[in-house]
C-alpha cells in the first residue's frame, strides 16, 4: 500500500479552524507517477504535491516555478526518502515493538483532537472528503497506518540514541549561519518577547485539613485495591479538572513533564498497580499506570487536595502585595524566592512571546491595553485569575527584559540552531550510511 502523508489533512484542519481560504492552485488533478523508489517502495508525485500543498497551507512561501521550485521539490523528495528508510529500518528491527494498543491510543487521541476543531459531524465529514477520505472510518484506517509508522520511527530514534549512534555533531559557525539563512525567508517576524523572574506564593492548609485529606486518600487506595473502579472514583473524588471527567486519564507523558514526586512514583509502577498516596505541591495523588513504553508511561490519577481556609487565602494575597512593594523598592527577589517560593514552581521565564502569555500574566503585565511592560516593573496577581478560589496561587513578578517585535536575528536563536542542526547532522550521517546499503532510485 502506498503511504500517504498525514500533513495534508492536518493542514486543511488548520485552515478550517482559522477560516483561511484553500490553495486552489494545488487542487488541480495530476497524473500520478513514480519519482523515487526505495527498495521496492515507490514515492509518488501525488505525495510531493501533497507536501507542497501542506507547506503552502501552513503559510510557507512556495516558488511558482523554475529552479527555485525544483530545489524545493528535490528537498521534499529527499525527506520522503529519509522517512521511508526509517520506516523500513524500524520495521526490520526485531528489537523494536509497537503494540496495537499503543497505536489505537494514539489514533483515538488524534481523532479526538481533530474532531474537536469542528462544530458538527457534518463539518468534520465535509473536511475529510476535501482531504480525500470518503468516510471517517477510511480516515481512521489511514491514520492507523500513519501512527504505527510514527511510533516505529520514534522508537528507532530512541534506540539509536541509546546505542550512541546519534550523538549530536558540533556544527561550525558557518554551517549554523547557512542553515539559518536558508530558513530565514520562511520564518515569521519575531513577536514581542518578555522575560521575568517570579515568586509564587501558595496558601497553606492547616494540619487538620491535611490529615483529613490523607485519611480520604488512604481510604480510596484501599477500595481501589479491593477492586473498585478507578475511573468512577476519579470522577467522584478527584480535584483535577483537567482529567477528572476522563476518569483521571493523563495520557502519555515523559520525564520532565510532571512534577518530580509524581513522575518518580509513576515511572516505578507496573501497569495496573495502584500507588500509595503521593504528595506534591498540588496535593495527594493516587496513581495507576495503564501502559508503558521506552521513556514513556500512560497513567491516570486521582488528586485529593486539603481544604484551604479563606483566612489562609487572604494571607497569601496580602503577602503578594507586600512583597511587590518591597521588590519595587529594591528588595532582592532571589532572597524572597529562597524563603517563600511554592514547591515545583518555576522561578523565571525567558523570552516568552507576548502573544503566548497565559491570560493572568497578560492581564497582570497590562498587555490587554496593547502596551509592553517596562523592564524592571514589578507586578502582583493571581496565577490562574480565579479570584474566588481559596487555592489561588499568587505571583510577584519582576520584568527583566522586553524585546519589541521584529525580524528574527541569528543571535536570538543561535543555541536553538546549534542543537537542532547538530541532531540533523547526526541523523544525516546515519541515513547516508543506510542509503549506501539499500537500493534508492530517484527519477526526477
Domain ranges of the chain: 7-185+413-442, 193-204+309-403, 207-304
> Which residue from 106, 180, 177, 196 is spatially nearest to 148, judged by alpha carbons?
106
φ, ψ for residue 50 (rounded to 5)? -60, -40
Look up cell 498587555; give the residue: 367
**Mean pLDDT value across residues 47-58:** 75
For residues 21-39, b (16+ Cβ closer than 10 Å) or e, as one string?
eebeebeeeeeeeebbbbe
d(CA 143, CA 114): 12
CB 389 within 8 Å of CB 366: no
Residue 303: exposed, middle, or buried by beta-carbon count in 10 A (0-12, 13-18, 19+)?
A: buried
Fold classification of 7-185+413-442 (topology level): Triger factor/SurA peptide-binding fold (1.10.4030)
Give yes or no on whether 7-185+413-442 and 207-304 have one common fold: no
The three cell numbers of residue 365 are 503585565
Residue with cell 536575528: 409
| 327-363: pLDDT as tens digits | 999 999 999 999 999 988 899 999 898 988 989 999 9
CA-CA distances (angstroms) from residue 2 to 34, 47, 96, 114, 324? 11, 9, 22, 23, 61
Phi, psi (degrees; rounded to nearest 5) at 403 = -120, 120
pLDDT for residue 333: 96
- Considering only the top CATH level, what class is 193-204+309-403? alpha beta
* 34-38 sheet: strands from edge to edge: 41-44, 34-38, 440-442
Q: pLDDT tens digits for 233-250? A: 999 999 998 899 999 999
pLDDT band with cut points at 50, 70 and 90 for residue 15:
very low
Using CA atoms, how far apart are residues 423 and 429, in angstroms rounded to an integer?
10
The answer to whether residue 13 scores a pLDDT higher than 80 is: no
Statement: residue 368 has pLDDT above 80: no
What is the pLDDT of the chain when averaged over all its residues? 86
pTM check: above 0.85: no
Nearest CA to 214 among 98, 305, 115? 305
* Alpha-carbon radius of gyration of the chain: 26
pLDDT at 441 over 70: yes
State the average pLDDT over residues 422-435. Answer: 90
* Residue 201: predicted pLDDT: 95
Of all residues in the chain, what percent carry a pLDDT higher than 90?
Answer: 50
Q: What is the pLDDT of residues 267-323, one digit of tens each?
A: 999 999 999 999 998 899 999 999 998 889 999 999 999 999 999 999 999 999 999
For residues 211-226, average pLDDT? 96
Residue scoring higher pLDDT (24 or 63): 63
Is domain 207-304 annotated with CATH 3.10.50.40?
A: yes
The sheet that has 249-253: what strands, in order across it? 249-253, 296-304, 283-293, 278-280
Among residues 325, 300, 106, 319, the alpha carbon closest in space to that of 203 is found at 319
Helix (H) or strand (E) run with residue 182 in it: helix 173-184
Instruction: Give every CB contact of residue 341 below 8 A, 6+ residues apart in sequence.
Output: 199, 200, 347
User: Does residue 392 carry a pLDDT above 50?
Assistant: yes
All three cell numbers of 7: 500533513
Q: How confident is the model at residue 58 (pLDDT cuts 50, 70, 90)?
A: low
Amino acid at each position: 500500500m502506498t503511504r500517504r502523508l498525514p500533513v495534508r489533512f492536518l493542514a486543511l484542519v488548520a485552515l478550517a479552524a482559522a477560516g483561511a481560504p484553500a490553495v486552489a492552485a494545488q487542487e488541480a488533478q495530476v497524473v500520478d507517477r513514480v519519482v523515487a523508489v526505495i527498495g521496492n517502495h515507490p514515492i509518488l508525485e501525488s505525495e510531493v504535491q501533497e507536501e507542497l500543498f501542506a507547506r503552502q497551507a501552513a503559510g510557507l512561501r512556495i516558488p511558482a516555478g523554475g529552479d527555485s521550485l525544483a530545489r524545493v521539490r528535490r528537498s521534499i523528495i529527499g525527506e520522503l526518502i529519509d522517512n521511508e528508510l526509517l520506516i523500513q529500518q524500524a520495521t526490520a528491527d526485531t528489537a523494536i515493538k509497537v503494540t496495537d494498543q499503543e497505536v489505537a491510543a494514539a489514533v483515538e487521541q488524534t481523532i479526538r483532537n481533530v474532531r474537536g476543531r469542528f462544530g458538527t459531524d457534518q463539518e468534520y465529514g465535509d473536511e475529510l472528503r476535501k482531504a480525500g477520505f470518503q468516510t471517517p472510518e477510511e480516515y481512521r484506517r489511514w491514520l492507523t497506518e500513519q501512527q504505527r509508522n510514527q511510533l516505529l520511527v520514534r522508537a528507532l530514534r530512541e534506540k539509536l540514541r541509546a546505542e550512541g549512534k546519534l550523538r549530536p555533531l558540533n556544527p561550525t559557525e558557518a554551517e549554523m549561519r547557512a542553515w539559518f539563512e536558508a530558513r530565514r525567508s520562511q520564518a515569521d517576524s519575531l513577536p514581542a518577547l518578555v522575560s521575568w523572574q517570579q515568586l509564587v506564593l501558595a496558601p497553606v492548609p492547616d494540619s487538620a485539613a491535611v490529615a483529613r485529606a490523607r485519611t480520604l486518600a488512604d481510604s480510596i487506595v484501599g477500595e481501589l485495591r479491593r477492586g473498585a473502579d478507578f475511573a468512577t472514583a476519579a470522577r467522584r473524588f478527584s480535584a483535577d479538572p483537567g482529567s477528572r471527567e476522563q476518569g483521571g486519564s493523563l495520557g502519555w507523558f515523559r520525564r520532565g513533564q510532571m512534577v518530580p514526586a509524581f513522575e518518580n512514583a509513576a515511572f516505578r509502577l507496573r501497569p495496573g498497580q495502584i500507588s500509595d498516596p503521593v504528595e506534591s505541591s498540588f496535593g495527594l495523588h493516587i496513581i495507576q499506570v495503564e501502559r508503558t513504553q521506552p521513556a514513556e508511561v500512560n497513567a491516570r490519577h486521582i488528586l485529593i487536595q486539603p481544604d484551604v481556609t479563606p483566612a489562609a487565602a487572604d494571607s497569601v494575597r496580602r503577602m503578594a502585595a507586600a512583597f511587590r512593594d518591597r521588590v519595587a523598592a529594591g528588595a532582592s527577589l532571589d532572597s524572597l524566592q529562597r524563603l517563600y517560593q511554592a514547591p515545583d514552581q518555576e522561578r523565571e521565564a525567558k523570552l516568552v512571546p507576548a502573544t503566548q502569555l497565559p491570560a493572568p500574566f497578560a492581564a497582570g503585565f497590562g498587555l490587554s491595553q496593547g502596551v509592553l511592560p517596562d523592564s524592571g516593573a514589578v507586578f502582583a496577581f493571581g496565577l490562574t485569575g480565579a479570584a474566588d478560589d481559596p487555592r489561588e496561587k499568587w505571583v510577584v513578578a519582576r520584568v527583566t527584559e522586553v524585546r519589541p517585535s521584529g525580524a528574527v536575528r541569528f543571535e536570538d536563536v543561535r543555541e536553538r540552531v546549534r542543537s537542532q542542526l547538530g541532531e540533523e547532522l547526526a541523523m544525516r550521517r546515519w541515513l547516508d550510511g543506510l542509503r549506501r546499503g539499500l537500493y534508492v532510485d530517484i527519477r526526477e
